[in-house]
Amino acid sequence: MLDYSGLRSYGYSEWFEHYVENRKQVLAVDFSQEGTLTESEKALLYPSIADFQRGEASEGKHLLAASKRFARTAGQPAYADTIKLFIEEENQHSAYLKEFMQFHGMQLKKNSVLDGVFRLVRKGKGIHPEVAVLVSAEIIAICYYAALRNASSSPSFEIYLREDSA
């Protein structure tokens, strides 16, 4: 049985402050000391990193529109601003993955089947499907980044993964 006694609930304003604080601590990883990934590491990492990079690059137009409607309806003005900061943080993750991929000579994907499925499920259906899909993706990312830490010998990637999954 899981113990939830140490957990607490966060309101929209607290999440907003969380993302504001995170903005002040943007991770800058120096690739100058980075070694070369082996071909087997690239082959193992590429498909999933490319999908995650593509997915975290979303502008979030539909999510932002749905969050603004929800904020007005629910009388929660901090909600839409919080979602905007969340999207910006996800875009930071995408930018880091892009930098990592380019450093190691990996092609960026213009399209991703996985990203397309996520978009199809959530797009234009209101705030609840948007958030359900995002929460699902975040849960997957926690497990995914833990697995990547074990699969890569990249020191700069290790720093990023440790920070992102903390």
* Structural contact between residues 89 and 146, judged by C-beta atoms closer than 8 angstroms: no
pTM for the whole structure: 0.82
36-164: CATH topology: Ferritin (1.20.1260)
More confident of the two residues 138 and 122: 138
Which of 155, 150, 148 minimizes the C-alpha distance to 32?
155
Q: What distance in Å separates the CA atoms of residue 81 and residue 72, rounded to the nearest whole number?
A: 12
Which of 134, 123, 162 minimizes the C-alpha distance to 56?
134
Q: Among 11-20, 113-122, 128-137, which stretch is predicted with the lowest mean pLDDT? A: 113-122
Quick one: pLDDT at residue 72?
94
Q: What percentage of the chain carries pLDDT values higher than 70?
A: 87
